[in-house]
A and B are shown apart, each in its own frame.
Chain A
Amino acid sequence: MRTKFEIFKIGIKDVAPHLLSVFPFGIIFGAIGIELGFTPLFTYATSIIIFGGASQIVFLQLLSGGASSLIAITSVGVINSRHFLYGAVLSEYLQKLSLIKKLCISYFIVDQGFAVSNQYFKKNPTEEFNHFHLIGSGIILWFIWQVSTIIGIFLGSIVPEELGLKFAIPLTFIAIIVNELRKIDHVLVMIISGLAATFFYNAPFKTYIIISPLIGLLAAIMINKVKK
Chain B
Amino acid sequence: MSWISIFIAGIITYFTRMSMVTLIRKEMISDDLRKILNYVPSVVFPSIIFPGVLLDDFGAFVTINDPKIFGAITALVIGFITRNVILTIVSGLSSYWVVIFIF
A residues near B (Cβ < 8 Å) are 17-18, 20-21, 42, 45-46, 49-52, 54-55, 59, 63, 69, 72-73, 76-77, 80-92, 94-95, 99, 102-103, 105-107, 109, 111, 114-115, 118, 162-165, 167-181, 186, 189-191, 193-198, 201-202, 208-209, 212-217, 220-221, 224
| Number of CB contacts from chain A to chain B under 8 A | 263
Compute how far the CA of A196 lies from the CA of B86 in the bound complex, rounded to whole angstroms.
Answer: 28
Q: Are A174 and B42 in contact (CB under 8 A)?
A: no
Can you list the 6 inter-chain pairs with the closest CB atoms, starting with the nearest?
A87-B20, A216-B43, A194-B50, A178-B79, A49-B10, A170-B52
Query: Which one of A50, A102, A195 lies within 8 Å of B21 (CB-CB)?
Result: A102
Give B28-50 interface residues, CB cut-off 8 Å to A: 29, 32, 34-37, 39-50
Taking residues whose C-beta sits less than 8 angstroms from the other chain, chain B's interface range is 35 or more
Residues in A whose Cβ lies below 8 Å from that of B67: 164
For chain B, what secondary structure do more than half of its interface residues adopt (helix, strand, loop), or is it mixed? helix
Contacts A77-B16, A106-B21, A208-B51; A197 near B46 (Cβ below 8 A): yes
Q: Are B45 and A173 in contact (CB under 8 A)?
A: yes
Q: Are A106 and B50 in contact (CB under 8 A)?
A: no
Please list 13 pairs of residues, one from A and one from B, whose beta carbons are closer than 8 Å in the complex, sorted by A's number: A45-B3, A51-B13, A77-B16, A85-B43, A89-B37, A103-B22, A167-B93, A173-B52, A174-B72, A197-B47, A198-B55, A216-B46, A217-B36
